[in-house]
Amino acid sequence: MKTKEAYFSTFQLILLALFAALVVVSKIALRTPLQLPGHSGVFWMAIVIVAAGVVPKPGAASLVGLTSGIIAGFLGMGDFGALNTLLSYTMVGVGTDLALLLMQDRENLVVTTLAGMLGHLGKFLVKWVLGAITGAPLGFVALGLARALVGYVVFGALGGLLGGLTLKALRKAGFFAYLAEKR
């Protein structure tokens, strides 16, 4: 009897879980004194883009976002509660997935830059909507909404570009040929 093949292999799931953990670790460890909303997007959008390139299936980025959101929620990260953290991290993945679904070429630098921008914009939208409902600010008080929004877009784009460059470097180093043997 033919068994139905799982959408993600166990190896891919392990890889995605590791990327999710890396997103959370980067958020904790890679702190920069930029004092601009969204600046951490440089690191974690890069990781999400690399994850979506290493496991090139729709849903990979969403799974990384959801898993990192659950981990971050349990660790008490984020200033506005676990629900805000879970939704915003998940939306990073969903936004990236939707962007990659539209543009398809996961190693094109323009595509990764735009995917990073859209993914990070998804996080901004969640925080903005929840902020409007609950009154929680998002860097608007000191910097104004437009500057906060520009921060998210720019840092998301930089993260996407960094992720795209990392994917290119991994391909050059033969990582994808190595992965093809493993899965």
Instruction: List residues binding other proteins (CB under 8 A).
Output: 31, 33-37, 39, 79-80, 99, 102-105, 108, 110-111, 114-115, 117-118, 121, 124-125, 128, 132, 134-149, 151, 153
Q: Decide whether 16 or 159 has the Cβ nearer to other proteins.
A: 159
User: In whole angstroms, what is the distance from residue 168 CA to residue 139 CA?
Assistant: 34
Least distance from other proteins to the Cβ atom of residue 121, Å:
6
Q: Decide whether 59 or 137 has the Cβ nearer to other proteins.
A: 137
Angle at 91 between CA 122 and CA 113, to 5 degrees: 55
Q: Which amino acid is at 30?
A: L
Least distance from other proteins to the Cβ atom of residue 3, Å:
36
Least distance from other proteins to the Cβ atom of residue 124, Å:
8
Structure tokens at 67: 């898993």
Q: Decide whether 140 or 175 has the Cβ nearer to other proteins.
A: 140
- Angstrom distances, CA of residue 64 to CA of 20, 59, 136, 140, 180: 5, 9, 26, 28, 20
Least distance from other proteins to the Cβ atom of residue 91, Å:
12
14 in helix, strand or coil?
A: helix
